[in-house]
Amino acid sequence: MLRSLFGTREQSVERVVRIYFSGTRSIVAAMHRNDAGICYEQPDPAVVDVRQPAELGVAFRAAFDAFSLRDRDLSGMKKSDWPAFKASGLPSMKEFEREYTAVLCEGLNSSNAVVRASRVYPGDAGMELSIAFNPLGEVEAVGAMLLRLARAEGAA
């Protein structure tokens, strides 16, 4: 686990996870980073019940561990190709963006010992809310912190 968290010399980069919150469920997407430094979602995101903070924490940890460097040309991709959008089952991207609150989780530096999770402040896209946490913390505590961020100001 520690080796996967801190990575090897070849993969000593900031890890990224994206989580989408809506009502009683969330979609947790593991990410790849291409050679241009752009992150994109891995296939098969986890869909979890947000009423269970431990389940969310476990899904976050699995996605954090699954982060990898994988080159891919993203020029032909559309938002509707995103695995999280497909997992939502919603008919349009507009509905997905209205229904789900996106939270970006990223290591503060290449050690990945501290993760910063952030989301847009409700009603003001020029501001954001964020928290910082240890990605190796108790899964229930990590899940509870992520839920608190997502629900701040009644966003989710």
Q: Indicate the SS3 state at residue 143.
A: helix
By the 8 A CB rule, do 116 and 123 touch?
A: no
- Residue pLDDT, tens place only, 59-91: 999 999 999 999 998 888 898 999 999 999 999
In SS3 terms, 31-97 reads as EEECCCCCEEECCCCEEEECCCHHHHHHHHHHHHHHCEECCCCCCCCCHHHCHHHHHHCCCCHHHHH
pLDDT bucket at 3, cuts 50 / 70 / 90: very low
Q: Is 156 helix (H, G, I), strand (E, B) or coil?
A: coil
Query: Quick one: DSSP state of residue 123?
Result: T
Q: Domains in the chain: how many in total? A: 1
Judge contact between 19 and 105, C-beta under 8 A. yes
pLDDT tens per residue across span 97-143: 999 999 999 999 999 999 999 999 877 878 999 999 999 999 999 99
pLDDT at 11: 57
CATH number at residue 86: 3.40.1590.10
**Domain span including residue 16:** 2-154
Strand partners, 101: 21
